């Protein structure tokens, strides 16, 4: 029946109210009140779903990856409203989407720099190119900017003595530095990092300082060693040297970071910076604001997929994009590929996977657009691919969705992992691949993260994904108890085992015993109620392989030669992380190499 109808259902952060206007046979408009959904994530997901439903005249739409709760709540409320209107909701859930003719299509045009991909690295490249004198067009195949960056926990690794001075260094961390200095290295550049680190370390000890030591040299060595020494040392060198400059650059664009620093999962050191805004919204907002302020010279187009590179006389001179079903030619003096990885492309994961059991049934933390498009574009011009089998899994996926939301850890030091027997099974400060492989060996590949009041002083304390612990407990995604025995009963593990496990961990924190798993990262005991637990499973997170680049972020061909006019940045590239990426290095990679790619793409204009 034609008219306007309203209904409400539970979303991720609270109730989602949907108002839908229909004719006798069409959905005309949809409005949603979702004030409690995460800014930049849940609200953007709902906007995306509104577009899909109206354009396709169907409820047969997929939830938006990374915003499952918001998506499900919206779709449930919409179904109730349509049911009140007398619509056949079951039929709408089965109906194939209608093909809708769009009115506006991008016109063929020429600019200085074209950036393919509107996630963090693409936006960084676009802003950097403009700051270096270029006019920019950015194309993004998805209906919103942000990519994986906006869904991320947003931790950014950089040595930062100013912020790290408030952190007390432990004896075990001192031993870690000395072990890294003594480790045998074959590469001359890596050896130079060790020599520099040795000098820095001696100066630090001579000063009598007790705060946490860190430096770009230590960051480089942990990155290189953490990827099994397979990364390109030249790229790692640049990442370590420019990581903190990237923090300063983001701050110059209006982004704010908290003074508090932490150790992110698999980060190996307390050098992760935490943005003041939730998740990755701070990065995307800063870049988007810059676009808005420079709209005369910068444009971006959504729902626009790059399908082919245009090559003339061996040089990339533009891109063919598909806009509303039409092929459009965009030309430029340089092109930057920044399309992200392929963690959401199951077929591609299986093609290149050599190190894991089948990944066919493993969910991913990534957004749905992370399908390897940029790698396929690079292959059109004979680009060299490196490290394609290096696919990173995390042990921290939501059991239902694979996303990182619901993760109750606040940092590595104050939490443990236990299996279905209530027993620890791995060093929780280890590399991500080591932890995930150990988790696969546990029953149902499932574990429980255990924390206490040190992580959540109050019920409204938020995790790194902008969720309060009270919200997670109310939603059944986390469990709370006043004793470890009660917590064990709630999660179905042996109470005696859990109590003994926590007691042993606390003794290791005290230094009374050596940790049985070799863990070196500690802060507080787990000894103050309330105690919390949340279930986690393996999830596909990052693809370290991709297009081979040099220090100028130029893409190389299979003969090791520069492909003129083509640059790349972010997860679409390979060679920076090796076999395993340290937690917190992705955002540093995005910013550092996005800046480099954009600047050099712009500089190439004056070199012609």
Q: Where are the domains of the chain?
A: 3-94, 109-150+282-392+541-606, 156-275, 393-538
Nearest 5°: phi and psi at 240? -65, -40
Question: What value, to the nearest 5°, has the Cα angle with vertex 119 and ends 602 and 323?
Answer: 85
Residue 191, token pair as written in the block: 């050896």
Q: For the beta carbon of residue 104, count every other beta carbon within 10 angstroms.
A: 7
Residues 6+ apart with CB under 8 A from 489: 481, 495
The pLDDT assigned to 39 comes to 66
Residues 6+ apart with CB under 8 A from 462: 278, 468
pLDDT tens string 184-200 = 999 999 999 999 999 99
pTM of the predicted model as reported, rounded to 2 decimal places? 0.85
The pLDDT assigned to 104 comes to 55
Cα separation of 254 and 250, whole Å?
A: 7
The pLDDT assigned to 606 comes to 61
Low pLDDT (below 70) residues in the chain: 1-4, 21-24, 28-29, 38-40, 65-66, 97-105, 606-608
Residue 62, token pair as written in the block: 């997929």
Considering the segment(s) 3-94 as one domain, its CATH architecture is Alpha-Beta Complex (3.90)
Farthest CA pair distance, the chain:
81
Class of domain 393-538: alpha beta
The pLDDT assigned to 63 comes to 75
Sign of CA dihedral 427, 430, 434, 440: positive
- Scan for tokens 């020494």, then name that residue: 229
Closest to 193 measured CA to CA, from 176, 215, 209: 215
The pLDDT assigned to 100 comes to 44
Residue 316, token pair as written in the block: 């990339």
Q: Was domain 109-150+282-392+541-606 assigned CATH 3.10.20.880?
A: no
* Angle formed by the axes of helices 281-293 and 120-131, nearest 10°: 30
Residues 6+ apart with CB under 8 A from 88: none
Cα separation of 530 and 451, whole Å?
A: 9
pLDDT tens string 413-428 = 999 999 999 999 999 9
Q: Give DSSP secondary structure letters for 125-162.
A: HHHHHHHTT--EEEE-SSSSSBTTGGGS---EE---HH
3-class DSSP string for 336-388: EECCCCCCCCHHHHHHHCCCCCCCCCCCECCCCCCCCHHHHHHHCCCECEECC
The pLDDT assigned to 64 comes to 73
- Scan for tokens 């003595």, then name that residue: 161
Cα separation of 2 and 21, whole Å?
A: 7
What residues are annotated to the active site? Answer: 432
| Residue 98 DSSP label | P
């Amino acid at each position: 029946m034609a008219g306007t109808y309203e209904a409400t259902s539970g979303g991720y952060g609270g109730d989602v109210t949907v108002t839908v206007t229909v004719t006798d046979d069409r959905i005309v408009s949809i409005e949603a009140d979702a004030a409690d959904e995460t800014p930049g994530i849940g609200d953007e997901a709902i906007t995306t779903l509104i577009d899909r439903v109206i354009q396709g005249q169907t409820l047969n739409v997929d939830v938006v990856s990374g915003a499952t709760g918001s998506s499900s709540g919206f779709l449930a409320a919409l179904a109730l409203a349509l049911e009140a209107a007398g619509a056949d909701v079951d039929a709408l859930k089965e109906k194939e989407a209608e093909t809708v003719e769009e009115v506006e299509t991008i016109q063929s045009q020429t600019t200085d720099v074209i950036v393919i991909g509107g996630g963090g690295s693409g936006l960084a490249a676009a802003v950097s190119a403009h700051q270096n004198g270029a006019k920019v067009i950015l194309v993004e195949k998805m209906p919103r900017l942000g990519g994986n960056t906006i869904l991320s926990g947003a931790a950014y690794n950089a040595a930062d003595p100013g912020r790290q001075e408030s952190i007390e260094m432990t004896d075990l961390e001192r031993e870690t530095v000395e072990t890294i200095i003594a480790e045998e290295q074959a590469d001359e550049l890596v050896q130079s990092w060790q020599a520099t680190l040795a000098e820095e370390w001696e100066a630090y000890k001579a000063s009598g300082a007790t705060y946490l030591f860190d430096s770009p040299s230590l960051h480089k060595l942990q990155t290189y060693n953490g990827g099994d020494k397979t990364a390109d040392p030249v790229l790692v060198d640049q990442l370590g040297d420019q990581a903190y400059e990237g923090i300063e650059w983001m701050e110059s664009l209006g982004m704010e970071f908290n003074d508090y620093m932490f150790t992110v999962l698999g980060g190996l050191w307390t050098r992760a910076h935490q943005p003041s805004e939730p998740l990755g919204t701070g990065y995307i907002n800063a870049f988007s604001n810059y676009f808005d302020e420079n709209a005369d010279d910068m444009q971006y187009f959504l729902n626009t997929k790059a399908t082919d590179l245009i090559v003339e006389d061996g040089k990339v001179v533009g891109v063919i994009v598909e806009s509303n079903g039409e092929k459009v030619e965009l030309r430029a003096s340089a092109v930057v590929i920044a399309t992200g990885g392929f963690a959401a492309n199951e077929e591609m994961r299986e093609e290149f996977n050599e190190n894991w059991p089948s990944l066919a049934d493993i969910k991913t933390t990534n957004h749905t657009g992370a399908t390897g498009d940029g790698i396929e574009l690079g292959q059109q011009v004979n680009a060299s691919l490196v490290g394609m089998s290096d696919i990173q899994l995390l042990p921290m996926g939501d059991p239902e969705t694979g996303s990182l939301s619901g993760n109750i850890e606040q940092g590595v030091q104050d939490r443990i992992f236990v299996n279905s027997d209530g027993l620890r099974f791995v060093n929780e400060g280890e590399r991500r691949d080591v932890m995930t492989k150990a988790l696969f060996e546990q029953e149902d590949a499932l574990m429980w993260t255990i924390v206490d009041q040190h992580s959540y002083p109050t019920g409204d304390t938020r995790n790194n994904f902008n969720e309060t612990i009270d919200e997670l407990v109310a939603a059944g995604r986390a469990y709370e108890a006043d004793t470890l025995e009660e917590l064990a009963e709630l999660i179905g593990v042996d109470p005696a085992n859990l109590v003994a496990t926590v007691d042993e961990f606390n003794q290791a924190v005290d230094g009374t015993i050596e940790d049985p798993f070799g863990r070196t990262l500690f802060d507080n005991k787990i000894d103050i109620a309330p105690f919390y637990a949340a279930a986690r499973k393996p999830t596909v997170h990052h693809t370290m392989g991709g297009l081979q680049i040099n220090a100028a972020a130029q893409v190389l061909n299979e003969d090791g030669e520069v492909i003129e006019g083509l640059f790349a940045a972010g997860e679409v590239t390979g060679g920076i992380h090796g076999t395993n990426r340290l937690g917190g290095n992705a955002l540093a990679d995005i910013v550092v190499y996005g800046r480099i790619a954009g600047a050099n793409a712009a500089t190439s204009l004056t070199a012609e």
